[in-house]
Amino acid sequence: MGWLRPLLIVLVLLAGPITAHAQMVRWMDDQGRVHFCEGLDCVPERFRTTARPMALPTPPPAPEGRKDGPPSGVTKIPFQPGKPILVSAKVNGGGPVTLMLDTGADTTVINPLALWRLGISTWFAPRAEIRGATGTTSVDIVRVQSIEVGEAKAGPLIVVAHDIDFKDADGLLGRDFLNHFNVNIDTAGGVVTLSPR
């Protein structure tokens, strides 16, 4: 019983950075289903002591002559007002894939077939259940080194691999990417501007 107090102290110390940085966490419910969400606040209170932060891989070193850091310029994405905002994106430097910009989505979602075309396997990816407007479904969780839209680049990121049925898009570009930038959506002018923070 003497080990419980130090364990709780460690969990409390871990909980601080998880909440502050909105890191992805993994937790299991009473039925043994694994869930993933962003930040400890999204985990029901009774499961928080067992929630674990997900470690992200260390990005590979930058090629010679290139310095990592914020993008040097501004990315402008034209769109037709009244229609979904579609962006051309590179994942891990490959692509492009077409993603629908979705400021309401916490996490980027990409069709498994599109990931496969990019050489990103979901074969051994962890499974999770997500809840959305249409109910609960099982998905794969995949780590990617980077997502790029024009000059805007962020990563590593954890994305959801899910077979969404969009006519013109391979998935959704969510806030996990967008929160790295200042986002300005000019609906009258039909342009989205992503600028470095």
Task: Look at residue 3 in the predicted model and tell me its pLDDT.
Answer: 42
- Are 110 and 161 members of one domain? yes
SS3 67: coil
pTM (predicted TM-score):
0.65
- Are 23 and 101 members of one domain? no
- Are 102 and 34 members of one domain? no
Domain that holds residue 47: 14-53
Task: Look at residue 91 in the predicted model and tell me its pLDDT.
Answer: 97
Kindly report the CATH number assigned to the domain that includes residue 130. 2.40.70.10
First to last CA, the chain: 47
- Are 174 and 131 members of one domain? yes
Task: Look at residue 159 in the predicted model and tell me its pLDDT.
Answer: 95
Q: CA 126, 128, 131 angle in degrees (round to 5)?
A: 160
Task: Look at residue 18 in the predicted model and tell me its pLDDT.
Answer: 31
Which regions in the chain score pLDDT beneath 50? 1-22, 56-67, 70-71
